Amino acid sequence: MSPENGPLAGLKVVEFAGLGPGPFAAMLLADAGADVIRVDRPAGPVDGGALTRGRPWIGLDLKAPEGLATAWDLVRRADVLVEGFRPGVMERLGLGPRECLAENPRLVYGRMTGWGQDGPRAREAGHDINYLALTGALRSIARRGEAPVPPLNLVGDYGGGGMMLAFGLVTALLERATSGRGQVVDAAMVDGVSLLMTGIWSRAAQGRWSDVPGTNDIDTGAPFYDVYATADGEYMAVGAIEPQFWARLLDGLALSFPEQWDRARWPEMKARIAATFATRTRADWTAVFADRDACVTPVLSLAEAPRDAHLAARGTLEPRPDGPQPAAAPRLDRTPLRAREAGNLGDALDRWGLAVAGAR
């Protein structure tokens, strides 16, 4: 069955398999209805799971003439190409943007790297943590006097990487509708992470942000924006920034402080709030703040999140035989996105007008 009803229905995408952000971008396109074929190594995908949902894979040896010929057949028919290798790899395979755009001038050629296609580090290896380190983001995610905490690989790989690549691809496709021409999208995680830090750079420029981590209003420096341990070793998240939420927080805790923004008293306020939260369990505090609209919520584990009433009501996490996975997002009312099955490779190749021996 072909992709249907999504906003990108009819769009053909060839994805040269990689890890992390490239597959995430291709997954977003597939969730939106694009017809994606994933070119993988002959032995098959190395990552699998939700990141490879929505598109069949074809195993090709790109160093063998027959494998390269099939790859070219896909490139000539594609609207979008996604690759996540180090700079120069696709060029050495003969599938660089110059060659591909010469054969298919309408192709939008998406490149996903950490450092970008140029610059002194362009050909160096790296991971999410390294890209965050150089942009200032990692140093900013720390409690005062403590070491930085890597925020999983959400900010570099997926937020500043794959999601930014998907955005770039869609903008290039929109422009192509006017010009009729494709172009190269150079998505670098250092660029994307820096862009995600726009709000922090803005605060710093306005003198509202200290470069000392853990001393600001949204980096655990303030008593109204932090996580607090409960009596049972669990946690409550507090985001009571605005004065009305701060007042409701204090009401729920049965505490009183004279001035929310008296920074000199923030350590004292935090200590008293922490001591109060420590007197009762997470379930108790969840009940206390259930109807107070104070921006106070329980901190759930991955195992607990699918059972949350709000997430369950929205279907944010979809049950699957191998465990829950995130539903497609955002929500479009007329042409909805959805997590799709990979479908049959042979059917996909038929839609592309290709016949490949041994295709499954």
pLDDT by 10s per residue, the chain, length 360:
445 679 999 999 999 999 899 999 999 999 999 999 999 999 877 667 889 999 999 999 999 999 999 999 999 999 999 999 999 999 999 999 999 999 999 999 999 999 999 999 999 999 999 999 999 999 999 999 999 999 999 999 999 999 999 999 999 999 999 999 999 999 999 999 999 999 999 999 999 999 999 999 999 999 999 999 999 999 999 999 999 999 999 999 999 998 999 999 999 999 999 999 999 999 999 999 999 999 999 999 999 999 999 999 999 999 998 899 999 999 999 999 999 988 999 999 999 999 875 554
Asked if the domains 12-196+332-351 and 225-307 are classified in one and the same CATH topology, the answer is no
Helix (H) or strand (E) holding 278: none
Residue-wise pLDDT tens digits, 170-225: 999 999 999 999 999 999 999 999 999 999 999 999 999 999 999 999 999 999 99
* For the chain, percent of residues with pLDDT exceeding 70: 97
Give Cα 195 to chain centroid, integer Å.
14
Q: Is 49 helix (H, G, I), strand (E, B) or coil?
A: helix
Helix (H) or strand (E) holding 66: helix 65-77
Residue-wise pLDDT tens digits, 60-71: 999 999 999 999
**Nearest to 108, CA basis, from 31, 18, 169:** 169
* The Cα angle at residue 130 between residues 165 and 327, in degrees rounded to 5: 40
Residue 134, CA atoms < 13 Å, CB-side half-sphere: 15
Is domain 225-307 in CATH 3.30.1540.10, yes or no? yes
Enter the DSSP assignment of 156. I
Whether the predicted model's global pTM rises above the 0.85 cut: yes
Q: Let me know if 226 is a catalytic residue.
A: no
Residue boundaries of the structural domains of the chain: 12-196+332-351, 225-307
CATH architecture observed for domain 12-196+332-351: 3-Layer(aba) Sandwich (3.40)
Q: Let me know if 157 is a catalytic residue.
A: yes
Which of 127, 217, 251, 284 is flagged as catalytic?
127
Structure tokens at 65: 């003439």
Which of 157, 186, 191, 226 is flagged as catalytic?
157
What b/e readout covers 203-227, taking b as 16+ CB neighbours within 10 angstroms? bbeeeebeeebbbbbebbbbbbbbe
**Nearest to 29, CA basis, from 2, 6, 57:** 6
